Structure 1
Amino acid sequence: MTQSPSIIYTWTDEAPALATHAFLRAISSFVRTAGVEMETRDISLAARVLAQFPEVLGDKAVDDDLAELGRLVELPEANIIKLPNISASTPQMKECIAELQSQGYNLPDYPDDPGTDAEKDALARYGKAMGSAVNPVLRQGNSDRRAPKAVKDFAKSNPGRMKDWPADSKSHVATMTDNDFFHNEKSVTIGEATTAKIEHVAKNGKVTTLMAELPLLAGEVLDATFMSRKALVEFFDAQVKDAKEKDILYSLHLKATMMKVSDPILFGHAVRTYFSNLFTNHEPEINELGANPNNGFGDVVGKLSSLIRDPESTIVSDIEKDFANGPGIAMVNSAKGITNLHVPSDVIIDASMPPMIRDGGQMWNANDELQDVKAVIPDSTYAGIFAATVEDCQTNGKLDPATMGSVPNVGLMAQKAQEYGSHDKTFEAESAGTIRIVDGSGATLLEHDVEVGDIWRACQTKDEPIKDWVKLAVRRARATGSPAIFWLDSSRGHDAEVIKKVNAYLPGEDTDGLDLRILAPVEAIKVSLERIRKGEDTISVTGNVLRDYLTDLFPILEIGTSARMLSVVPLLNGGGLFETGAGGSAPKHVEQFEEEGHLRWDSLGEYMALAASLQHLSEQFDNPGAGILGDALDAATGKYLESGRIPSRKVHEMDNRGSTFYLTYYWAEALAAQSTDPELAKRFAPVAAAMAENEDKIIGEINDSQGNAQKLGGYYRGDAELLATAMNPSATLNAIIDAV
């Protein structure tokens, strides 16, 4: 094929979206020289919300861009660049709805306790936009995620901070030893395609259909499991007491954004357990006000503060008593008194555990000091990898980014593989009984006895993605020469079924001379840690959730951030999805930009994703110009790092807009210097010269815009004109780019 398809660029949220306003202008001008057009699609939280209510919004209705992209990823010409987006928790969803309503969008309120059909319908629609709404739709391929050589070399030359571990460190990971998702999991491989259903059978025999149609393909792996509420509460209670006795911080680590059904419930039980006096003595008031501990302690205390019927301050007294009786809580923001029990979306396990390990096993306390911590990870499925890392550092000392190796990842995630696709199959048991999956013939595939409040869930992993995942792992091992370890535990129901498939598919691949192993996650991370301390690389081949954890854990330790990782997703039907690094710190970046006009977000991941996208166009659609642009952008990225053009954290120093200018300048330089396409070189020579000649003026114009509050027109749905103006303050640079 000689006609290149367009590159689809996604508008997302927060700092990544702000940064795109600065970079997209240059991209559009540069890639047009190779006959490549840029298109954009809005998959931000606000756009996803608005897309659910077309008949309500009338002439303010928006297209459902996410649904359109879901169709596009099935086509061989798909070429999509996806930036980090908000995976909304309930508090974030409510904030977004309120902002959109204030902007004139006639949306219904978010119903906490829907009673009418209209409220139930609204809740169902909002649910489609929450949690991991984007990734399961777009990720119709498995993930190849790694730190590019230029990034790794820069990290070794400029190692990030890594604190020493105290010799008497008491920090540790606490997890359940029974009756959690791991220990209760059952799994089966489907023999023939069928349409199953999920049912709850009460003690009195009443059958309630929880899910009427669950299509299952031949060969796919089906899992079911549950978390015992009783065991969970007992676990939380024991950990609060133990942290108090050991005089260490209490810290909860979940992922209520992605695991949008199960983890908020776990979070709520943690809040209830810690603030036991408050909930024991004031449950009626809490319920009356609609305060929900699943939304965090912040939601509860915020609504209680409006209560006028507390004449003797008993509520305040009970809260103070809980704080006094309990251990200190790790802080999200010490200055504002925000603990990591305040808001579920503030503490995301893959973004919160690595900094704790980097900081010598400590987290910040209420006095803004680092302190040893009990990291509470209720479900034991993957808690062991963090525990093993903590124990390794306590034994061997901190890791050294200047010498350590890498742990790139091949992740199984295509077609909603594993836990992130399970929201519609996750239920909180309303009464004691049995929850079961029944196939089309009426036979029971999987079942569990449950008590009221237990959290039951099922998930699916189809056969084709597993086969493709094995092939991708072999390809990466062959390309790198590094060992590849499948992180699979034969004692776990799901993993045991997947191991059978790995053993069946590996003989069909060229594995001669390759080091391919299957190890349980704890053993796999021990081997990986031993090797990276020697400066050796080890490919981790994992499932979806573990992919998410490891591609934050190791990059944050190795290169200081996961935002500089390159994530290439070869789609099953031949297209490409190119993702940038994580956006866990994006909210703080936006806050600083609004207050000071300084955006410290680093767009390096965005630069690398675009280069890979252009190279994909060159290879798949016979467009040599796209390949030259991609290779030049890679060269520019290397110079960007070598020249230290990374955004500073401080106002009046280099910010994202200055960084993007230098990246664009180096890109034009590389295009002007290449000899493969003389016409392209001739076209970009004056561009590079103009940028060089006006460098001081451009940087001056950018820096002059700093130090002032910025009006964006909204956090979740900003005003496009205000955003474009704020992110492109240099008239000189704009004129040069527009003239390309």
Structure 2
Amino acid sequence: MSTIIYTHTDEAPLLATYSLLPVIEAYAGKAGVDVETRDISLAGRILAQFPERLTDEQRVGDALAELGALANDPSANIIKLPNVSASVPQLKAAIAELQALGYDLPNLPEDPQNDEEKDVASRYDRVKGSAVNPVLRQGNSDRRAPGAVKAYAKAHPHRMGAWSADSKTNVATMSGGDFFSNEKSWVSPADDTLRIELVAADGATTILKPSLPVLAGEVVDATFLSAKALDAFLAGAVARAQEEGVLFSTHLKATMMKVSDPIIFGHVVRAYFAPVFAQHGDALAAAGLSANDGLGAIFQGLAQVENGAEIRAAFDARLAEGPALAMVDSDKGITNLHVPSDVIVDASMPAMIRIGGHMWGADGAEHDTLAVIPDSSYAGIYQATIDDCRANGALDPSTMGTVPNVGLMAQKAEEYGSHDKTFEIPADGTVRVVTAAGETVLEHAVEKGDIWRACQTKDAPIRDWVKLAVTRARLSGTPAVFWLDENRAHDANLIAKVNAYLPEHDTDGLDLRILAPAAATTFSLERIRQGLDTISVTGNVLRDYNTDLFPILEVGTSAKMLSIVPLMAGGGLFETGAGGSAPKHVQQLIAEDYLRWDSLGEFFALAASLEHLANTTGNAKAQVLADTLDAATSTFLEEDRSPGRKLGTIDNRGSHFYLAFYWAQELAAQTRDAELAAAFAPLAERLAADETTIVDELVAVQGKPADLGGYYRPDGAKASAVMRPSATFNAAIDAF
């Protein structure tokens, strides 16, 4: 039997799975396709780290490690839904919930002092941040808007905010002392094992990382962000926002960049509230309240501080005197600086640009904004987009072209979180990267508080990335632009490799070019406005950024993208879109029993997965399932069956009913496989006859609280009952 692995993840995608998976299992089973699940949720990953502390009934296997091994098997066929990339506050919340459910888990050590605490901290470190993606992504990324989605967006364009020619919205970024300006890059001439060490001013050497294996041809980068330069820049940005009368906001990625960005976020909080920290910083530190955790955590902790009311008044006074802060939720008083994981750059910046360069102020109105992105490596792509919109007005989804992406990410290529190779420097000195033979190949003079990091990019993924770019350019007949800056150390080494590997392919007649990111953005936007398509061929960070920026502008969301990862071993990983708004969807479900999550990404991933399975196993029925699913999804879009925006309309569960209905109709009507047609004809008739009843049952539950039994680890029976409220639909699918 052919097998597809469907991942059990977190938040809204997990809840949608309770509704959609029974349909997938039933339909796939008719084609001899077995659908298995693996739990890679944050809660599941936490539990897998502490088997010795759990009972036999509580213990779970390490599904992520299992799937990581499978990703290197030619038979792999994995559908990967969005998962929580846990920030420290999220990790703490998940641990607390599991402890309350009876799991004997240790607390997260804030400052590990002994071997036991260090062991616990190291286990939790394996769960924080982007723990999942680097393990599963053993191939490069091919991500684009499916034709049906693009056609729907053109016929039914989403709302775009108007841009004013005198908009004061801009990006503020560092001009020196940041990761971009301090980067050095080296290509290993042979297999080797490096070490990273800090040599302090007094000559004492601290080994930061004792063993860093590299392969011949591997690109190794090292850089640092100067704490002094960062603080000076931030002080200037705060003053600039105040002077220009715009909102102040910062845009980082504390979920993915789990070491560096929470630290940078803390610097931003301290810069904005400089008078408060000057007066009360010692008291806050003594109470264990860190700016790195955000304003929300500080406010919560002040209740236990002796002069907490006085300190809170100082914070409130600073908020009142400005500059005005951008808000995450103005109704609840949640600012841009409340939670490090609330404002994620690749989602927040496109959303700001989409609504006319505005963010929300404390008054509940939209305002121009100074978007603070400290590191200048990629801040220019957003400034270029803002400049284009200021000059030419908002983009028009009904006419604009598209920017698909070929992204370098295989084998942890440019794993920009570089979690195991990022350090907050404890003392002045020199950080060195040293070969096994004792040769220093990279070094930086650093000061206490600087953030130093390294990352790696193996040669084989680069070669595969170039091949994929040429393949996509040939298949689509559109220009492909490598977003690489010759003035950046890492990119200069990649440019040399791209130029070396392009001649291995037939590039005759193809428009392939190399442009620095800001220039590539401008070039792509010029073409977009003409209705033309341009492939962006990027490294890992820009893969993440571009596959939100352009889809959000083109089709309104990145959740509707087709995301295929052709695994280098021959298997396939099929990703289902972004989950950035998933927490808000869960909150609404708990309050109103209404889930707005759109599962289009799951539909597209499933079709691609079935097609891959048909091609690799010769299962002709799987190909029929794939083709009819694509046709059903087109009907789904034409009939506007995506979740509505208000109570009384169909939500995620109703969208699954209509997908099942249209898919059954397509299978019953197709003529390529008589056995499948005969099997699905009665179901198609039954769903058609019961359509009104099913929709009524799905809508009837809305408007009251829903009990899931947990956020990070919902109770399976309760979640299933919430997500499958139509007895009529359930009976039809379960009997089938």
From 5, 13, 21, the equivalent of 2:18 is 21
Whether 2:412 is the aligned partner of 1:419: answer no
Matches within 5 A, 1:5-404: 6-59=3-56, 60-310=58-308, 313-404=309-400
Task: Give the distance between the partners of 1:317 and 1:38, measured in 2 at CA.
Answer: 56
SS in structure 2 at match of 1:108: coil
Query: Displacement of 1:167 after TM fit?
Result: 3.1
Task: Give the distance between the partners of 1:316 and 1:575, measured in 2 at CA.
Answer: 55
The equivalent of 1:720 in structure 2 is 716
Whether 2:496 is the aligned partner of 1:505: answer no
1:134-192 C-alpha deviation (Å, 9 max, x unpaired): 00000000000000000000000000010111232100000000010000000011101
Whether 2:582 is the aligned partner of 1:569: answer no
From 448, 458, 462, the equivalent of 1:462 is 458
SS in structure 2 at match of 1:490: coil
Q: Which amino acid aligns with 2:229?
A: A
Which stretch has the larger CA shift, 271-280 or 519-528?
Answer: 271-280
Task: Give the distance between the partners of 1:384 and 1:537, measured in 2 at CA.
Answer: 21
Identity across matched positions, percent: 61
Task: Give the distance between the partners of 1:543 and 1:328, measured in 2 at CA.
Answer: 35
Which stretch has the larger CA shift, 711-720 or 273-282?
Answer: 273-282
Task: Give the distance between the partners of 1:467 and 1:556, measured in 2 at CA.
Answer: 30
SS in structure 1 at match of 2:179: coil
Query: Displacement of 1:326 after TM fit?
Result: 2.7
Task: Give the distance between the partners of 1:436 and 1:736, measured in 2 at CA.
Answer: 65
1:103-143 C-alpha deviation (Å, 9 max, x unpaired): 00011111112223222211111111010000000000000
1:442-472 C-alpha deviation (Å, 9 max, x unpaired): 0011000000000000000000000000000
The equivalent of 2:664 in structure 1 is 668
Task: Give the distance between the partners of 2:703 and 2:206, measured in 1 at CA.
Answer: 60
Which stretch has the larger CA shift, 648-657 or 501-510?
Answer: 648-657
Task: Give the distance between the partners of 2:604 and 2:490, measured in 1 at CA.
Answer: 35
Q: Which amino acid aligns with 1:67?
A: A
- On the 8 A contact 1:237/1:273 being kept in 2, the answer is yes
Which stretch has the larger CA shift, 280-289 or 496-505?
Answer: 280-289
Task: Give the distance between the partners of 1:452 and 1:705, measured in 2 at CA.
Answer: 57
Whether 2:511 is the aligned partner of 1:521: answer no
SS in structure 1 at match of 2:415: helix
The equivalent of 1:679 in structure 2 is 675
Query: Displacement of 1:325 after TM fit?
Result: 3.4
Query: Displacement of 1:308 after TM fit?
Result: 3.1
1:377-422 C-alpha deviation (Å, 9 max, x unpaired): 0000000000000000000000000000000000000000103351
1:560-599 C-alpha deviation (Å, 9 max, x unpaired): 0000001000000000000011000000000000010000
Task: Give the distance between the partners of 1:704 and 1:679, measured in 2 at CA.
Answer: 36
SS in structure 2 at match of 1:652: coil
Q: Which amino acid aligns with 1:649?
A: R
TM-score (norm. length: structure 2): 0.99
Task: Give the distance between the partners of 2:490 and 2:166, measured in 1 at CA.
Answer: 38
The equivalent of 1:538 in structure 2 is 534
Q: Which amino acid aligns with 1:52?
A: Q
Matches within 5 A, 1:701-720: 701-720=697-716
TM-score (norm. length: structure 1): 0.99
- On the 8 A contact 1:598/1:652 being kept in 2, the answer is no
Q: Which amino acid aligns with 1:186?
A: K
Q: Which amino acid aligns with 2:391?
A: T
- On the 8 A contact 1:568/1:579 being kept in 2, the answer is yes
Task: Give the distance between the partners of 2:555 and 2:320, measured in 1 at CA.
Answer: 39
Task: Give the distance between the partners of 1:673 and 1:391, measured in 2 at CA.
Answer: 51
Q: Which amino acid aligns with 1:537?
A: D
Matches within 5 A, 1:647-666: 647-666=643-662
Task: Give the distance between the partners of 2:160 and 2:355, measured in 1 at CA.
Answer: 6
Q: Which amino acid aligns with 2:618?
A: D
1:337-384 C-alpha deviation (Å, 9 max, x unpaired): 001100011000011001100111010000110000000000000000
Flag as ranges the 4+ runs of structure 1 deviating above 2 A: none
Task: Give the distance between the partners of 1:61 and 1:20, measured in 2 at CA.
Answer: 22
Q: Which amino acid aligns with 2:658?
A: Y
Task: Give the distance between the partners of 1:643 and 1:525, measured in 2 at CA.
Answer: 34
Q: Which amino acid aligns with 1:316?
A: R
The equivalent of 1:495 in structure 2 is 491
Whether 2:436 is the aligned partner of 1:477: answer no
Q: Which amino acid aligns with 1:648?
A: G
Query: Displacement of 1:281 after TM fit?
Result: 1.1
SS in structure 2 at match of 1:445: strand
Q: Which amino acid aligns with 1:32?
A: G
Task: Give the distance between the partners of 2:272 and 2:116, measured in 1 at CA.
Answer: 36
Unaligned residue ranges in structure 1 (runs of 5+): none
Task: Give the distance between the partners of 1:30 and 1:320, measured in 2 at CA.
Answer: 57
Q: Which amino acid aligns with 2:42?
A: L
Query: Displacement of 1:58 after TM fit?
Result: 3.1
Q: Which amino acid aligns with 1:12?
A: T
Q: Which amino acid aligns with 2:43?
A: A
Task: Give the distance between the partners of 1:134 and 1:651, measured in 2 at CA.
Answer: 34
Query: Displacement of 1:705 after TM fit?
Result: 1.4
Q: Which amino acid aligns with 2:175?
A: T
Which stretch has the larger CA shift, 163-172 or 353-362?
Answer: 163-172
SS in structure 2 at match of 1:346: coil
1:167-225 C-alpha deviation (Å, 9 max, x unpaired): 32100000000010000000011101101100000001111101010001000100000
- On the 8 A contact 1:232/1:378 being kept in 2, the answer is yes
Q: Which amino acid aligns with 2:676?
A: L
Query: Displacement of 1:22 after TM fit?
Result: 0.5
SS in structure 2 at match of 1:536: coil
Task: Give the distance between the partners of 1:302 and 1:115, measured in 2 at CA.
Answer: 26
